[in-house]
Chain A
Amino acid sequence: DTGVSQDPRHKITKRGQNVTFRCDPISEHNRLYWYRQTLGQGPEFLTYFQNEAQLEKSRLLSDRFSAERPKGSFSTLEIQRTEQGDSAMYLCASSQVSGYNEQFFGPGTRLTVL
């Protein structure tokens, strides 16, 4: 257990529905990241926050995706009008703002879109 928690662990939804995932980082970590991982592939970067500011977004993050970190602690990732291609593991990681970027990952939320 790295100290990063994610909820829910599994989500099954029908195409067209909206879903929201939550990530709670390690408490003293200022940076929080979202990645997406499909079967047999490595995680792909989606976006990251430093405190409450969203500083970078990948082109993978279409306009149906939105992430927030309102108080600089937990973060949510919402997917609107889900598509079958959104089925993946969504991983959250956190790190400190110092030195090199050792990121600690949570267990992930596995999304299945039917």
Chain B
Amino acid sequence: GESVGLHLPTLSVQEGDNSIINCAYSNSASDYFIWYKQESGKGPQFIIDIRSNMDKRQGQRVTVLLNKTVKHLSLQIAATQPGDSAVYFCAENKGAQKLVFGQGTRLTINP
């Protein structure tokens, strides 16, 4: 079946370190992926997206990598800050309109 999933449910890193959050998808026809950040009690916040014709995209302190060969994408956050603590979701845009979300990874930043 089709699914978007994450390798680890939780991740703890030291403040200032880099963090990497991983996501696997199963639909090789997927052509668009988005990373969202969700803080407690809030809606998902768009972080960065990537299209299937790209393998890397950079934003401010964030980089998304897409490996279509193994159907894997990752979110790298550089120099993590306390405000980065949240649950991170990858989402797959399935051709038409709906997003399919993974279960999420809770990122905790230790002081």
Contacts and interface: CB of A to CB of B under 8 A. Distances in A.
Interface of A: 2, 4, 31, 33, 35, 40-45, 48, 55-56, 58, 91, 93, 100-108, 110
Nearest to B95: A101
A101 B32 contact: yes
A2 B89 contact: no
B61 interface: no
A106 to B, nearest CB: 5
B42 A43 contact: no
The 4 A-B residue pairs with the shortest CB-CB distance in the complex, in nearest-first order:
A42-B101, A105-B43, A45-B98, A105-B44
Contacts of A104: 46
A48 B98 contact: yes
B93 A2 contact: no
B103 interface: yes
B29 interface: no
A1 to B, nearest CB: 10
Contact of B43 (A2, A48, A55): A2
Given A2-B45, A101-B99, 13 more contacts: A33-B99, A40-B104, A41-B104, A42-B103, A43-B89, A43-B99, A56-B98, A93-B99, A104-B46, A105-B36, A107-B41, A108-B43, A110-B41
